Chains A and B, each alone.
Chain A
């Protein structure tokens, strides 16, 4: 089975609202986590990452939260825009060579 998964396969959000995408992981040895965005017909694009020695990391309009106690990762997108419509994947790793992806959450932004 997969070591990384997302709670919801789809998320519909009103333009301008904040989005929260969740991810659960089961490998307690994982020490590096990444969020990717994949638009239709394209390869995954890096959004933000976080290491296990951190609880929170912020980027431009995005924040990743890591709760190691319950093995939970979330991505928050502020002021969601139409261009944020995509599939979002979390991924985890415990070494330099192998990355495990979750199944993805499809985010649809309503105008």
Chain B
């Protein structure tokens, strides 16, 4: 198992450019999510998905789009990058149906994004 993988590891964008952050998991997890992490702050939820074709907003969804066409992939799209979107982005996944209660989330290694 590769777990949760993210590409690219690092990206520099100019204001107004668009790009897609890739996330994939090979654990057949129903739930996937995107967080951003800014200096001195905890992770903040951007969007999440509970299965293919189902997505919902988290705490800070503005400026980001997601889609979930397969169980494995959950890309995050920046429509028109802004300097305020400079951050480290983490993708996570977990099973929704573990016996005994909530399963822990597994995080990817992160994508560092710099918007100039």
Contact = CB atoms under 8 A, between A and B. Distances in A.
Contact of A101 (B42, B48, B104): B42
A49 B96 CA distance: 16
Interface in B23-71: 31, 33, 35, 40-45, 48, 50, 56, 58-59
Given A34-B104, A89-B43, A104-B41, 15 more contacts: A32-B101, A42-B110, A43-B108, A43-B109, A44-B90, A44-B107, A93-B102, A96-B96, A97-B50, A98-B45, A98-B58, A99-B105, A100-B42, A101-B42, A104-B40
Nearest to A47: B104
Interface in A41-59: 41-46, 49, 51
B42 A96 contact: no
Assign chain B's interface to a size class.
Answer: 20 to 34
Contacts of B106: 46
Interface of A: 2, 4, 9, 32, 34, 41-46, 49, 51, 89, 91, 93, 96-104
Contact of A99 (B41, B45, B110): B45
B96 A42 contact: no
Nearest to A48: B104
A49 B31 CA distance: 18
